[in-house]
Structure 1
Amino acid sequence: MASFTKVLLIFCCCTFYAAQAQIKTSGIKTHYPGHSSGSLLLGNATEEHHFNGSDSYAYNRNFIPAETYRGGDWSNHEVTNTGEHYLGNSGVVGLVLPHTTFRPHIVLDPTAEFINKTRSAMASGVCYKEVPTSSLVSDDRRIPVGNGTTPAMSKIQICCDGYERNPHVYKRCDPICKDDCPNGICTAPNTCVCMPGHVRNYDDKCISTCPIGCGNGICESDNECKCKPGYTIEPVNRKFCIPKCEPACQHGTCVGPNKCDCFEGFRLTAAGACEPKCDNCENGHCTAPGFCSCNTGYLKVAGICEPVCALGCNKGRCAAPDVCECPNGFELDRSGANCVPHCELPCLNGVCDGANTCACNPGYILDEQQKNVCKPHCAQGCPNGYCTQPNFCVCKPGYIKSGIKGRQTCVPV
């Protein structure tokens, strides 16, 4: 009867610990199951394991992930003069009754050994922060001296950036991986270590390899990966297939057969290639993202490639390298560098200074009737005569000049 009671108690304890286990098929989390009492040793398998009821924990060492993987050898369990040891069906180390000692022959499969080794090298994720000591006590009338840089400050433990509290063990901080790290172990913020039988692909995901599977291919009988059409074997690990682009996808990533995803600052051409992107690169070519190199004969002015006329373009516009373009009513002179006015009718006693516009010589004024004719001007007028030259009158027939020189007038004979 006593033996039956003992076995029943052991079975119940195993069932309780198995219920605490957390199995997640999408990825191996770093959360560990909590215990209401007892001492949980997460370390290397030793010759003797004791539960002393002190509610203490040891972290960041090699340990048997009992909540997920089964270990131990039932055929080798033994009864000593201090009690019996065994591993339960869930892989959880069975509760050892007071004053018992067990010496299990522990056998770990490669996956368990990999998890132990990976987790043992993980950072604790615990950081320290100083806060006012008054915020940590309920009675602000009795504030003790803090352990911070000043008596009024105290140092507390918090989770570092990229870590979160373990839901089972409050004092432990676990790294956060946004995609939950499928088929891997989250060892640092957004950092996954792939499980055995898996490899990281170009999308930073842990995917299975032969004989389990082959990304973008199939596993052949010799456990080699045979790629689908449009894919080729990944050259480093040769464990999965990647898209193939012909020609190669420069300045981008080949995301599908002959399909490029261009890097930032590049754009996809009609031919399927990635080229640098510039907002304004007229009269030039975009040699890098946002950088335009001007063509020969052009110079960059205010970020725009402008043509250059080596001889200049007076009163005109340089329309192309060494090509001067004149506005309406102007024409190039023989030098090809100056725009001069053009008049359809030649200017008499003047010069053409605009589109069909004459500028009169000194002593001449523009004829009101004939816009291309500049006539002589006599400031004192020329009564009974004709102004034939600036300030010079010729009398009409029957009149003669009379008066002081310079003030001559035409008077009747």
Structure 2
Amino acid sequence: MSSSHQLVTLGVLLAICSLGQGQFKTSGIKTRQPPSGNLQLSGNSSEFGWSSYNQSSYGWRSQNQSNYAWTQQNHVGQGSAGFVPAETYQPVTLPPLYGHYVQPVTPPAHRVQVLDETALFINKTRSGMASGVCFKEVPTASLLRNSRDQFIGNGTTPDMSRIQVCCDGYERNPHIYRRCEPICADDCRNGICTAPNTCVCIPGHVRTSEGKCISTCPLGCGNGVCDEQNECKCREGYSLEPETRKYCQPECKPGCSFGRCVAPNKCACLEGYRLAADGSCEPVCDSCENGKCTAPGHCNCNGGYLKLQGRCEPICSIPCKNGRCIGPDICECASGFEWDRKSAECLPKCDIPCLNGVCVGNNQCECKSGFVRDEHQRNICQPHCPNGCQNGFCSAPNFCICRPGFIKSGIKGRQTCQAV
């Protein structure tokens, strides 16, 4: 019986010790502190049995609370949303019960944030920017999930509704959906895009003629170095920009008309111009033969030429018959024709002269009156006798010559060759 009694007593003691440890650990996990940096006692006191009696038992009377700065203003209910991790708590003197698991840490000092010139510039610039939000009317039905719903829109007509959209040149901020940001094509490096394709440089930077923001002294000097007076000293081939004198730009000699100087003595021509052999920029014309291109797509014809159908064509005071005008008063004969200086025209050309005929084309003969083309030789025209020449041969148009042993008889024009 004595051993049984001892076992029961030992079990009761173990249970009491286990209950005490569990309650202490639980109370440690649930402990939080309010934003003031002090532990909360009043919120946890009733939950874990910290009555006034227990406080008195551990010596936590009003005088002790005042010694440890536990005033009523530091008591925060357990439902407060302003809890912060207990590790940041540091009272004047730690309470005897909680002091062994709350680690005192020096709270961070709250200093007044001083904005530099760049931050002030950014804040001021952004505060004056337009919202970029516009209103657009869309069919009310397009906004309804269920097509059977009946709603009246707030637009100019009941079936139209006004919605907010980003204005032209603006896009939605990917992080703040209701905010519209202006769009700058070059991303506005070292600056703030305040409006569509409008970039404002931040302090310490200056806008170049190309519209880019680059650093200037003392931050830096593009294509140069900063001297002791914080002024730009340009490298060879560069010179100070004449207006701001805060950055170096390349020099092109004798200049860069119709273009811009992108490097020492190197031009980048504007649209409609191209780089000439001498390094200058000249206008481009689709077709300007026999003329001079004076502007992009505009050609002035030389003397003796006239613009026809967008081309400069030569003028010949005497029309080029059987040929074409290739220059001022210069004819080029067509194939089968050749230039005749006496007549100042293109005459047909026959490799073999036309007998009793006229050359009318490339090796083409046209017979004279009273002659006909020979069937075997195309360049010969034979005389023609309509009644024929019996006992003789036709030697001329309608004229016969009798053979030996024959003589002509009859009237003229109707003569025949009779035997002697």
**TM-score between the two structures when normalised by the length of structure 1:** 0.68
Tell me the equivalent position of 1:80.
Answer: none
- One-letter amino acid of the structure 2 residue matched with residue 362 of structure 1: S
The structure in which a higher percent of residues are helix is: 2
Match of 1:339 among 337, 346, 361: 346
Offset, 1:214: 1.0
Match of 2:181 among 168, 174, 179: 174
Match of 1:236 among 222, 225, 243: 243
Change (3 A) 1:156 1:351: closer
1:204 aligns with 2:203: no
Q: How does 1:300-311 map to 2 (within 5 A)?
A: 300-311=307-318
Tell me the equivalent position of 1:155.
Answer: 162
Alpha-carbon distance in structure 2 between the residues aligned to 1:179 and 1:291: 33
Tell me the equivalent position of 1:312.
Answer: 319
1:380 aligns with 2:396: no
Tell me the equivalent position of 1:121.
Answer: 128
Tell which deviates more after alignment, 266-275 or 133-142. 133-142
1:292 aligns with 2:292: no
Match of 1:394 among 378, 395, 401: 401
Alpha-carbon distance in structure 2 between the residues aligned to 1:327 and 1:135: 73
- Alpha-carbon displacement from aligned partner over 1:140-183 (angstroms, at most 9, x marks no partner): 55433221111122212122233233455443322233444222
Tell me the equivalent position of 2:202.
Answer: 195
Offset, 1:366: 4.0
Tell me the equivalent position of 1:226.
Answer: 233
Q: CA RMSD in A?
A: 3.0
- Alpha-carbon displacement from aligned partner over 1:46-85 (angstroms, at most 9, x marks no partner): xxxxxxxxxxxxxxxxxxxxxxxxxxxxxxxxxxxxxxxx
Change (3 A) 1:124 1:336: farther
Alpha-carbon distance in structure 2 between the residues aligned to 1:344 and 1:182: 80
1:260 aligns with 2:259: no
Offset, 1:405: 6.2
Give the structure, 1 or 2, with the largest relative contact order (CA under 8 Å, sep 6 or more). 1
SS in 1 for 2:122: helix
Alpha-carbon distance in structure 1 between the residues aligned to 2:198 and 2:265: 30
Alpha-carbon distance in structure 2 between the residues aligned to 1:253 and 1:313: 49
Alpha-carbon distance in structure 2 between the residues aligned to 1:142 and 1:341: 91
Identical positions, percent: 64
Q: How does 1:139-150 map to 2 (within 5 A)?
A: 140-150=147-157
Change (3 A) 1:122 1:240: same
- One-letter amino acid of the structure 2 residue matched with residue 130 of structure 1: E
- Alpha-carbon displacement from aligned partner over 1:84-139 (angstroms, at most 9, x marks no partner): xxx95584xxxxxxxxxxxxxxx765434433432232111111122333444555
Match of 1:132 among 110, 129, 139: 139
- Alpha-carbon displacement from aligned partner over 1:217-270 (angstroms, at most 9, x marks no partner): 111111111111111111111111111111111111111111111112211122
Change (3 A) 1:364 1:242: same
Alpha-carbon distance in structure 1 between the residues aligned to 2:323 and 2:149: 88
1:281 aligns with 2:288: yes
Offset, 1:409: 2.7
- One-letter amino acid of the structure 2 residue matched with residue 353 of structure 1: V
SS in 2 for 1:264: coil
What is the aligned length?
318
Offset, 1:6: 5.1
- One-letter amino acid of the structure 2 residue matched with residue 314 of structure 1: K
CA contact (8 A) 1:314 1:337 kept: no
Query: Structure 2, unaligned stretches of length 5 or more?
Result: 1-32, 39-108
Tell which deviates more after alignment, 193-202 or 107-116. 107-116
Offset, 1:299: 2.3
1:412 aligns with 2:411: no
- One-letter amino acid of the structure 1 residue matched with residue 196 of structure 2: P
Change (3 A) 1:376 1:204: same
Change (3 A) 1:250 1:304: same
Structure ID, larger Rg: 2
Query: Structure 1, unaligned stretches of length 5 or more?
Result: 10-86, 92-106
